[in-house]
Structure formats: structure tokens, C-alpha cells
Amino acid sequence: MRGWGYPAFGRCVLAGLLLSAPTQTGAQTTPSPTPFPIESRCIFRPIGTLCAFGEFEFGSAQTATQRVCCLQTRCREQLDYQAVAPTPTTDRVCAEYRTDCPTTFFLVGSQSATSDRQCQPCQSCAPGTFVRTVCANTDDTDCHPVRQCVSGVQFESAAPTASTDRNCTGATTCSAVLEFQSNDLTPTTDRVCQGLTGCTELAE
């Protein structure tokens, strides 16, 4: 068809209809419309002629003496990939690249002309770890080991949660000269120091 590099073979594409070879009715010429894929670019070729490279045969619009050859759909560069390859009688099927995934999934892999990136489930953090970075877009969940407080030196001042680390605080040290330890250091509480009572020497 003109504008597509095809000669005009007595047919044209209008409103998604293939106007087949005209038939004579008295003095009038009446085209016979046959539905065809609206976005395809088609042309009549003699039955004995194969469709050219880059075309597929649209069989349902074939006539007794002519076959209909349509240009294969071209996927949009950087936007689409080929989901289904063309055959001699079917068109290429294009699909848009993924830009994101459902909640609890993230994108993995790379896109190509014939494949898309995949959505992979986000990992769940195991016991003894917490979520340092939430799974999103192209990044999986970042699980980090929970901090362990140093026994006898630190105590747990804030317990860990699913998304926060344990907070460890240095234990208080009592003065051997001025204080005594009234409460022991435990894994979750600090030691308590109290001042020694001063003694008054009695006069003789």
C-alpha cells in the first residue's frame, strides 16, 4: 500500500476492514469487506506467491486467487518485548516490560528483546535477624543479625523487633571506695550502686 512501501492492488485499509478485490455490479464497483487486525499492514499477493520476509499470511481474508500478506507487528524499542514469535500465518505478539511488582515481590533479571524481568518473592527474615531494609522495586529484603550484648559489660536497654535492632547500653561501674552494689547487673537491667555510709568516730 502507498506509504507502506506496497503498490496499490485494488484494496485499501479503512476503519479496520480489509477491502478485498472489487467486484463489478452493473456500472458500480463494490468492495467486499473482510475483518482483519486493525494495526496490521496488509496487501494482496497472488496465491502462488509466498508472503515476503517480515510478513505473515492472514488466512481468513484469503480469496480464491489471492492471499493477504500483512506486515508483522514491531515491538516498541525499550518499551515492549516479543512475548510470542511470529509464524508464517500468525503475527508477532508484543508485551510491555514490567516496571514494578505486586507487594511482597521484587524485580530480578534483565530485560531483552524477547524476555522480561521476573517478579520474585521477597525473603522473610529468620529468627535472630531483623529487617534493616524493606523489600522494594529491585531490592530484596535486607536481613541483619540482631546485636548481642556483651555479658557482664552491657545490658539490653531496648529489645529487638521485626524491624529494629537490639539496643545495648554499657553497665554502671560502682566505685570501690565510695559505693556498694545494691542490685546486680542482669541481661536486661543495669546494676545499681549506692553510696557508702560514713562513720563518725566517737570521742573517748
The continuous run of DSSP H or E covering 95 comes out as strand 93-96
- Within 13 Å, how many C-alpha atoms sit on residue 9's CB side? 18
d(CA 23, CA 21): 7
Write out the three cell numbers for 97.
516490560
Decide: pTM greater than 0.75.
no
Q: Report residue 203: phi and psi, to 5°.
A: -80, 145
Write out the three cell numbers for 204.
573517748
Reported as a single tens digit per residue, the pLDDT across 19-59 is: 333 334 343 333 343 444 444 488 888 888 889 999 999 88
Residue 19: predicted pLDDT: 37
Burial of 39 (0-12, 13-18, 19+ CB in 10 A): exposed
Reported as a single tens digit per residue, the pLDDT across 54-65 is: 999 988 767 778
Asked if 62 contacts 87 with a C-beta cutoff of 8 angstroms, the reply is: no
Reported as a single tens digit per residue, the pLDDT across 72-109 is: 999 999 999 999 999 999 999 999 999 999 999 999 99
d(CA 8, CA 25): 21
Residue 140: predicted pLDDT: 96
Going across the sheet that includes 33-35, the strands are 13-14, 17-19, 33-35
Asked if 139 contacts 106 with a C-beta cutoff of 8 angstroms, the reply is: yes
Angle, CA 153 vertex, CA 149 and CA 154 arms, to 5°: 40
